[in-house]
A and B are shown apart, each in its own frame.
Chain A
Amino acid sequence: MTLESTSSPTYDTATRAGSADLPVRVEGLRKTFYDEGRGEVHAVGGIDFHCNRGEIFGLLGANGAGKTTTLRMLSTILEPSEGDVWVEGNSVREAPEAVRRSLGFFSASTALYPRLTARETLEFFAGINRYPADRVKQRVGELIERFGITAFQDARVDKLSSGMKQKVSIARTLAHDPPILIFDEPTVGLDVLNALALVDNIRELRDEGKTLLFSTHIMSEAEKLCDRIAIIHGGKILTTGTLDELRQETGEHYLEEIFVHYVKDAEAATRELLEEREQRELEQFAGDGK
């Protein structure tokens, strides 16, 4: 298990040495926003992690923990303030187009074009993500069959039910057959049956050899799906490991308890740090007074 702290990320040299084969490698990733009301906001505070080929890597965190910002940086929608990400060896800073070619990005905010049909949607996304032009039709045909889209393939997306749209959305993410897939809180807003179907799809994709990055705040989903889990809180990764490793580390059984364990530790450490700083400032103030 790699335990990463924010102040000194222990992204070990062994991992770095074998990094050429890692599908996703994140180093010192930091994102700072400027907000009119709050000033500088450190949404992601310098994180490191990697994904192994053919695994489901889960980013587990509460709302506002920095999951979406991290995944947006991975998919080049946002540019890192510091640090870098390598996807299939390509840096998000240096070669964002190559990164996007290797990725399929799925989230609640990546909607479909409502006035295109399901088939047109898949053809467009396969083509624009540079799937070989002469094989686009065949690929789209396969996806239509696989996801049971045949009956409504020529219907406009805005006429489809939410379940049908979800199928087209997943097929859209896979249209160019990317080796890495990012699912950012994919089950948000879905009913139970659609959420279960989606979870099954994700598992199938892993079994086909895809590397999946999956963010969620739902513990049961992470427990069922993820081969390795990173717990993220306040823009910092508190720990990374398999579920068994996390259980061993904390002595807790359920992921919910494990999560609370790390978050409480982190908050206690933060409180301690703040109190120490406050004390130092008071002492300095008293010293200056003399």
Chain B
Amino acid sequence: MTPDRHSETSSLSQTLRDIRLLYVRELRDALREKSIVINSLLLPMLMYPIMLWLMFTAMTFVQGQQDRFVSRVALQGLPADHGALRESLAEDGDGRFELQELADADAVDELIRAGELDLAVRAIDAAGSAADLEDNVAFELIYDASKDRSDTARNRFEDTLGDYRADWLENAAIERGVSRESWDLFSIKRRNTASSSDMGSFMLGMMVPLLTIIMIAVGCFYPAIDATAGERERSTWETLMTVSASRTSVVVAKYLYVATLGTAAGLINLFALTLSMGSILQPMLGDEASDLSFEMPLEALPLIGVSSLLLAFFVAAGMLLFASFARTFKEGQSMIGPFYLVCLLPPMLVNSPDLELTLGWALVPVANVALLIRGFFSGLYPWELIGVVFAVEIITIVLLLWLVRWVLSFENVLSGSYNGDLLKFLKSNLGRGKAHTVNGDSK
């Protein structure tokens, strides 16, 4: 080795160079792995268009199925004055009803349970009713709610009966000298003070944090396992341990790699979600969807971006910690799985519209950022709490990374001879003072 082999660069710039080399190697390696590209990049990008397509297909299919079948209805004891109801059922424009005459009126329940009849409508004398109108009649609907077909028949009949009742009441009112205009009582006019953009922001604020963290977690999942258990399975771990970069640099590079793919997944998902939210909600909300406008509030964009970044860096650190114990991909999946679910809990807990970011919530990782992002969508910027949230997240991330470095200093974890049982690991390495550690970094 010649003296100029290792030029006298400062140790910090050398460390940064090491981290860059290791990071680029991890990333290059990962982007050639199909499962990582699919889960971390393609899934967040394509999930919503695919979801949209699936939703439309499913709704069209269900609607088509429902429209196709005819409801078999038996009318019993309908007074002659209400013959028009029978006619409106028989002459239904869409042919949705088939009226049946029953030979044995007592066999109604059996026929419905057997699926031979969907609905029986029995007119009952309404003489005892408080409504003081002639020809008043009550209806008993006999159906089987456990059968979709029978339940649909009931819904259809109630709609038809509702229309018939409104016509009948209107005619009765006119006969009694009440004009159509004076009949129109207690009308409702709505005025929403929130703009369509406000409404859209509210909806986005409720949905974005949860969906973003799901996508970030999906984005981090495979890279975290690939960077730890994957290396052990491919027997490249020992090769890596012989390079002259410090172990801390190795951990930092792996962490940055996992966080990069988590961030990419989160941000891609955020944009895909914002762009496709309107189309997704349209079929679910019907006319109400036209009152919504889904736009990303531009002034909040940097803060939303930084918050998503914090989430990604937190999830990456947590996943790397659990994955560092794993010797195989399968072990990695089972070790990260519970952490993934734990990450989803806080945003689900705070997903109530009444809940606001308080100092207490600001101290809870993940939940604090979820509430913060929701606030940003509604134009809320509580700067002091934002500072607390950022500080809490950064401290938690540093702590998690310190734990990763600590776990990877144990020889049995490093060499993969550790038996995969987390409790046994803690017991043997902490409880009985039998820890064998490798520092691996210069003192």
Contact = CB atoms under 8 A, between A and B. Distances in A.
Interface of A: 33-34, 36, 75-79, 81, 88, 93-98, 100-103, 105, 107, 109-116, 120, 124-125, 127-133, 156, 172, 176-179
B236 A111 contact: yes
A120 B28 contact: yes
Contact of B5 (A36, A79, A124, A132): A132
Contacts of B18: 128
Interface of B: 1, 4-7, 14, 17-18, 21-22, 25, 28-29, 32-33, 234-236, 238-239, 241-246, 411, 414-415, 419, 424, 428, 434, 436-443
Contact of A178 (B1, B17, B245): B1
Contacts of A125: 243
Nearest to A111: B235
A34 B21 contact: no
A230 to B, nearest CB: 22
A103 B242 contact: yes
Nearest to A133: B17
Contacts of A130: 5-6, 14, 244
Contacts of A93: 443
B438 A111 contact: no
For the complex of A and B, the 6 pairs showing the least CB-CB separation, nearest first, are A111-B235, A101-B244, A100-B244, A110-B239, A105-B242, A115-B32
A98 B438 contact: no
Given A111-B236, A124-B21, A95 B436 contact: no
A126 to B, nearest CB: 10
Contacts of B246: 97
A96 B6 contact: no
A109 B235 contact: yes
A125 B424 CA distance: 36
B18, B28, B29, B242 — most chain A CB neighbours (10 Å): B242
B245 A76 contact: no
B1 A95 contact: no
B5 A177 contact: yes
A124 B26 CA distance: 11
A102 B238 CA distance: 17
Contacts of B415: 77-78
A153 B411 CA distance: 35
B6 A101 contact: yes
B235 A95 contact: no
Contacts of B441: 96-97
Given A101-B6, A107-B238, A130-B244, 10 more contacts: A75-B242, A79-B411, A100-B243, A110-B238, A113-B25, A115-B28, A128-B22, A177-B5, A178-B1, A179-B1
Contact of A77 (B7, B17, B22, B438): B438
A97 B5 contact: no
A37 to B, nearest CB: 11
B236 A112 contact: yes
A78 B32 CA distance: 32
Contacts of A112: 236, 239
Contacts of B438: 76-79
22 contacts: A77-B238, A79-B436, A79-B437, A88-B1, A94-B442, A95-B443, A100-B244, A101-B6, A103-B242, A105-B242, A110-B235, A110-B238, A111-B234, A112-B236, A112-B239, A115-B28, A115-B29, A115-B33, A125-B243, A128-B244, A130-B5, A130-B6
